[in-house]
Amino acid sequence: MLYFSKLRVFSVLIFTLIISYFTISNFTKIDDDYFSKNIKLGLDLQGGSYLLLEIDNNPVIVQRLQSKVLELKKFFKDKNIKIRNFSIKDQSIFFDVNVMKKEEVLSLLDDDKSEINTYFQQFKSHEFDIENEDNSFKLTYSDYGLVLLKNSSLDQAIETVRRRVDEVGTNEPNILKRGNDRILVELPGLDDPGRIKSLLGKTANLTFQFVATNQEQSFGTELLQYESGDREAIVSKRIIISGDNLVDAKPTMNNQTNETVVSFSLDRVGARKFGKATSSGVGKSLAIILDGKIISSPTVQEPIVGGNGQISGDFTFQSATDLALLLRSGALPAPLNIIEERTVGPDLGKDSINAGIMSLIIGFILVVAFMFYKYRFFGLIANLALISNLFLLVGILTLFEATLTLPGIAGIILTVGMAVDANVLIFERIKEELKNENNSIIAFDSGYTKSRTTILDANITTLIAAVILFFMGSGPIKGFSITLGIGILTTLFSVYFIARLITAYYVIKNKHKEKLI
Amino acid sequence: MKTIYFNKFYKSFNILSGILIIVSLVFLIFKGLNFGVDFKGGTLIELRTDKSSANITKIRDSFNQMNLGDVSVKNFGNETDFVVKFEKQNSNDPKFIDELKTKLSNSIGSVDFRRVENVGPKVSAELLRSGVIAIALSLAAMLLYIWIRFEWQFSLGAILALFHDVIITLGVFSVFSLEINLSIVAAVLTIVGYSMNDTVVIFDRVRENLRKYADIKIFELTNISINETLSRTIITSVTTLLALLSIFIFGGEILKGFSLAMILGVIFGTYSSIYIANPVLVSLKVSQRTIVKEEKE
């Protein structure tokens, strides 16, 4: 165990130096991506906001079911089968048929190749589960059908979220999928997420609909509240244009009224539709509806054909800017709920870094002093291993751009405390071996050999704990498991390559000296 | 070095451990744990006030007027820092936090919200579940590992020692109503790793000595093994405790609970490796035949 080939010594040195270089590069300022990397600080250290959003897919499901109902109605009408009592309840479609036709309906619904089962042709499984009792049917989304629906709405939502966050212009936001209905948004450096939260909390479904001339509720109209909350109006359900037709929106000043408005431009299809509707609707009130609430309902003075228009509605400059941003970034497929939020102010982050570094230095000094007191010269060897261990650990964290969190710093300090264990096990074993063995080289050699399985066992147990934490933990805790886990590997390296190398040199040089350790 | 007769006290310390475990379990069952917002849901705000203007009562009074449910206010580190916790979590209302801040500034003067945590009921339930799963999984993984590496008598001893450490550490948290949050789960997992590590070192020696000495009874043999590894046990516990104490004292308020749990865990872990794990071997009458038989198979 004490023999090292020249090549091995060389590679250990080179490896240690390269990794240590990355540790040092954290403290230098070189503008080069390959040679100067910096450790990534977690949100708890640099300050910032962590938001976990969950999509509420219920509206999407209901919407899809509505269009499925239309599809089924048409399909069965073409087949001359009478369907009664279509309704949507509890995310399911209900309908009744004549008992005589029951078997036929069932086989049609089950037919893989039918035009109402396009889903099956694509994915080889049914989009809906069918339940049948006497003459009534119940169609519910199957697990597969739901997965596809959720995935596509998540994909859409994440795009919209990304556009909105980018528009606000925070630095290096991190937007990730979590499961099949959640989005994780990390916003480094942001200490007041209020604005982002209000932007992400809006679906931003914009529609233009005429206010009904006859203010009585009927089929084809709906009663909507004004944004201000003090009025309501009955509007036609027919949508003239929606937010999808918008190509741009920005806040501007209306020179005549001197109020802040949002001006928008429409794509070609939108402009044509809008022109047609406003030409025939001069004198009518046009309701501008955002997420089910009327922002304003100006009267159409003249046809608007150019594809440009303005939305007014008691905006401040800020709210006009936000509305324009929402309109530019497009609507969310479904509402998002913020189910977890963690925000750390930048000065707390700085305090945490300082406290972390302080306790690292003090913990390190205490351990180093204790080891020197206990083992003298060999204490120095262990301490040298400990220092290189720290350099390796921080270097690897930097190289792999791992995220350092406050618990991660605690993991580094804990590594300092536990890392000496391996050297202690070896030194104690060597002491025992020296009692029965006069040749110190043999005693050192068997000390290393005999302690090896114990050291491996002892470190693997901690590594198991770190790996489980890595997979089960989140955010800051994950940072702890990373430093703890990598710390074990660098500990083993520094003990078996660096400390052993120095020990070997020392012992071979001083093999005749009494009481080596 | 002088031999210490640890084995003389196996019985008395086993009784002590038994009592501690029962007391811990009684507290855990009847008093329960003080879960933080991570596991209970709700809102946590760490705030810093102007030097002169605020004290706990004033802050509590102003929060109580805001209709937020059960509010707890604690001093956090120095006298201008406070942590406020309440059940209401209203993360969907983007103005919720801003409004709280305005109301609070009106009554106690300028405040700075240094940290805000807002955890919904669904997330907190999931976090709690994954925390419990993580701890259970780590215990199972340790059991499996030690079962592969040693004979079943040893795994039983090691696992009993682990349960002992985890239950008593959580018991202390229950008795003193210390907060359980995500970092405590990390601490418990690390304790599991550390305690196992400590036990494995002694067990390795017990097994080695079992091969060496056929005629020494396990009661004696465990004591020899404990003594042979004792200086390592002490040195490693001391260096680990030095590092942890440094975190506890200098690492800031956020790491206090974590480092305290770890300190308790290291102390109990070291103790249990000697006084739980080894007596199990004795009462299971482990002998040279135990390991020789296994090795023949």
CB–CB contact B239 A476 (8 Å): no
- Residue A134 gets the label, from left (phi > 0), alpha (psi -120 to 50) or beta, of left
Sort strands A48-55 and B71-76 into parallel, antiparallel or unpaired.
unpaired
Closest approach of chain B CAs to the CA of A362, in angstroms? Answer: 6
Instruction: Please tell me which residue of chain B has the smallest CA distance to A48.
Output: B115
Question: Alpha helix (H) ranges present in A169-225?
Answer: 194-200
Q: Is the pLDDT of residue A350 over 90?
A: yes
Q: Are residues A356 and A385 in the same domain?
A: yes
User: Of A200, A217, A244, at which residue does a domain stop?
Assistant: A200
Residue pair B39/B181 in contact by the 8 Å Cβ criterion:
yes
> Using the 8-state DSSP alphabet, how is residue A79 labeled?
T
Percent share of chain B, pLDDT over 70:
96
Q: What is the mean pLDDT of chain B?
A: 90
Distance from CA of B270 to the nearest CA of A (A): 13
B92 touches chain A (CB under 8 A): yes
Scan residues 218-257 of B and list those with Cβ closer than 8 Å to A. 228-229, 231-232, 235-236, 238-247, 249-252, 254-255
Residue A2 near residue A430, CB atoms below 8 Å: no
pLDDT at position A515: 73
Binned at pLDDT 50, 70 and 90, residue A168 comes out as confident
Instruction: Please determine, for residue A220, whether its predicted confidence score (pLDDT) is greater than 90.
Output: no
User: Strand, helix or coil at B111?
Assistant: strand
- Pair A69, A132 in one domain: yes
Q: Is residue A480 located within the same domain as residue A363?
A: yes
Tell me whether residues A458 and B201 touch, CB distance under 8 A. yes
Quickly count: other Cβ atoms within 10 Å of residue B280's Cβ: 21
Instruction: Closest CB to B247: pick one of A359, A473, A474.
Output: A359
User: What number is the average pLDDT over the span A316-325?
Assistant: 89
What is the pLDDT at residue A81?
84
Q: Pairing between strand A182-188 and A174-178? A: antiparallel
Over residues B206-217, the pLDDT tens digits come to: 999 999 998 899
β pairing state of A40-41 and A403-404? parallel
Quickly list DSSP for B180-227: E-HHHHHHHHHHHHHHHHHHHHHHHHHHHHHHH-SSS-HHHHHHHHHH
pLDDT confidence of residue B1:
62
Number of neighbouring beta carbons within 10 Å of residue A107:
10
pLDDT score at A144: 84
Residue A510, SS3 per DSSP: coil
Angstrom distances, CA of residue A85 to CA of A59, A74, A132, A136, A138: 22, 15, 15, 9, 12
CA angle A62/A63/A69 to nearest 5° reads: 85
Contacts of A362 in chain B (CB under 8 A): 246, 249-250
State the pLDDT at residue A83. Answer: 83
Closest chain A residue to the Cα of B199, Cα to Cα:
A458
Residues of chain A positioned with their CB less than 8 A from the CB of B95? 194, 198
DSSP string, A90-122: TTEEEEEE-GGGHHHHHHHHH-TTSGGGHHHHH
Is 90 exceeded by the pLDDT of residue A53? yes
**B116 in reach of chain A (CB within 8 A):** yes
Q: What CA–CA distance (Å, rounded) separates A222 from A122?
A: 37
Query: Is the same domain home to A430 and A499?
Result: yes
Length of chain B: 297
Nearest to A468 among B189, B231, B238 (CB): B189
Report the pLDDT averaged over residues B179-200: 91
Q: State which residue of chain B sits closest to A406, comparing Cα positions.
A: B255
CATH topology for B6-36+123-296 is: Multidrug efflux transporter AcrB transmembrane fold (1.20.1640)
Do residues A132 and A106 make contact, with C-beta atoms less than 8 angstroms apart? yes
Measured in whole angstroms, the distance separating CA A35 from the mean position of its chain's CA atoms is 29
Q: Domain check: are A248 and A323 in the same one?
A: yes
CATH number at residue A260: 3.30.1360.200
Could you tell me which chain A residue has the CA closest to the CA of B38? Answer: A340
- Beta carbons of A506 and A427 less than 8 angstroms apart: no
pLDDT at B66 exceeding the cut of 60: yes
CB of B108 closer than 8 Å to CB of B62: yes
Task: Tell me what the mean pLDDT of segment A293-303 comes to.
Answer: 89
Q: Average pLDDT, whole number, for chain A?
A: 88
Q: What is the pLDDT of residue A282?
A: 87
Determine the pLDDT at residue A33: 62
> Positive or negative CA dihedral for B235, B237, B243, B246?
negative
pLDDT at B270: 96
Q: Can you give the pLDDT at residue B91?
A: 62
How remote is the C-alpha of B112 from its chain's centroid? 32
CATH code of the domain covering residue A171 = 3.30.70.3220
Which residue's entry shows tokens 């475990």?
A: B21
Secondary structure class of A362 (helix, strand, coil): helix
SS3 A81: coil
CB A466 within 8 A of CB A488: yes
Give the pLDDT band of residue B293 (cuts 50, 70, 90): low
- Triad A340, A346, A347: Cα angle to 5°: 125
Residue A450 identity: K
Range 250-279 of B in CB contact (< 8 A) with A? 250-252, 254-255, 258-259, 262
Q: Which is more confidently placed, B77 or A334?
A: A334
Task: Please tell me whether residues A125 and A225 are part of one structural domain.
Answer: no
**DSSP label of A211:** B
Q: What is the pLDDT of residue B67?
A: 80
Percent residues over pLDDT 90 in chain A: 43
Same domain? For A153 and A226 the reply is no
Mean pLDDT of A469-497: 90
And the tokens for A148? Answer: 């596809």
pLDDT confidence bin for B297, thresholds 50/70/90: low
In a domain, A340, yes or no: no
Chain B residues whose CB is inside 8 A of the A203 CB are none
Comparing CB atoms, the residue among B94, B242, B245 nearest residue A194 is: B94
Of residues A402 and A217, more confidently modeled: A402
- Under the banding of pLDDT at 50, 70 and 90, the label for residue B68 is confident
Domain boundaries, chain B: 6-36+123-296, 42-119
- Residue from B47, B71, B49 nearest B60 by CA: B71
Choose among B142, B182, B246: nearest Cβ to A461.
Answer: B142
Angle between helices A317-329 and A143-168 (to 10 degrees): 140
Backbone torsions φ then ψ of B48, nearest 5 degrees: -120, 130
Is the domain of A252 the same as that of A195? no
Strands (E), A213-292: 221-226, 232-236, 241-242, 246-254, 259-266, 286-290
Contact list in A for residue B98 (CB cut-off 8 A) is 192, 194
Residues A306 and A381 in one domain: no
Inspect the interface and report whether the beta carbons of A462 and B194 lie closer than 8 Å: yes
Query: What ipTM did this prediction achieve?
Result: 0.91
pLDDT of residue A31: 62
Helix (H, G, I), strand (E, B) or coil at B259: helix
pLDDT band at A209 (very low <50, low <70, confident <90, very high): very high
Strands A83-89 and A92-97: antiparallel
Query: Is residue A517 included in any domain, yes or no?
Result: no
Grade residue A122 by pLDDT with cuts at 50, 70 and 90. Answer: confident
**CATH number assigned to the domain covering B42-119:** 3.30.70.3400
| SS3 sequence of A2-47 | CCCCHHHHHHHHHHHHHHHHHHHHCCCCCCCCCCCCCCEECHHHHC
Which of B91, B95, B186 is facing A341, going by the closest CB pair?
B91
- Structural domain containing residue A257: 206-328
Are the beta carbons of B275 and B10 closer than 8 angstroms?
yes
Task: Mark yes or no for CB contact A474/B192 under 8 Å.
Answer: no
- Substitution target in A340, A415, A462 with the highest count of B β-carbons within 10 Å is A340
Q: Is A288 part of any domain?
A: yes
A287 assigned to some structural domain: yes
Please choose, from the candidates A95, A88, A85, the residue with its C-alpha nearest in 3D space to the C-alpha of residue A65.
Answer: A88
CA distances from residue B149 to A454, A460, B154, B279, B294 in whole angstroms, order as listed: 11, 11, 9, 20, 11
Find, among A196, A179, A199, A178, the residue nearest to A187 by Cα.
Answer: A196
Give the pLDDT score at B157: 94
Average pLDDT over residues A326-337: 90
The phi, psi pair for B161, rounded to 5°, reads -60, -40
Give residue-wise pLDDT tens across range B15-52.
999 999 999 999 999 999 999 999 999 999 999 988 66
| A358–B250 C-beta distance less than 8 A | yes
Instruction: Indicate yes or no: CB of A461 within 8 angstroms of CB of B112.
Output: no
Residue-wise pLDDT tens digits, B81-131: 999 999 887 766 778 888 888 888 888 888 889 999 999 999 999 999 999
User: Domain for residue A336, yes or no?
Assistant: no
d(CA A288, CA A265): 15
Q: How far off is chain A from B93, nearest CA to CA, in Å?
A: 8
Do A308 and A212 belong to one domain?
A: yes
Greater pLDDT, A309 or B90: A309
* C-alpha separations of B104 from A259, A414, B71, B90 in Å: 34, 39, 14, 17
Closest CA to A160 of A338, A294, A325: A325
Count of structural domains, chain A: 4
Does residue A382 share a domain with residue A236? Answer: no
Q: Cβ(B216)–Cβ(B224) under 8 Å?
A: yes
Q: Give the CA angle between residues A427, A431, A437 to the nearest 5°.
A: 130
Q: What is the pLDDT of residues A16-52, one digit of tens each?
A: 999 998 888 888 766 666 666 788 899 999 999 999 9
Does residue B152 carry a pLDDT above 60? Answer: yes
First to last CA, chain B: 38
The answer on A173 and A140 residing in a single domain is no
User: Residues with Cβ < 8 Å from B116, sequence gap 6 or more?
Assistant: A341, A342, A343, B43, B44, B45, B46, B97
Please, what's the largest Cα pairwise distance for chain B? 80
Mean pLDDT (whole number) for A184-188? 93
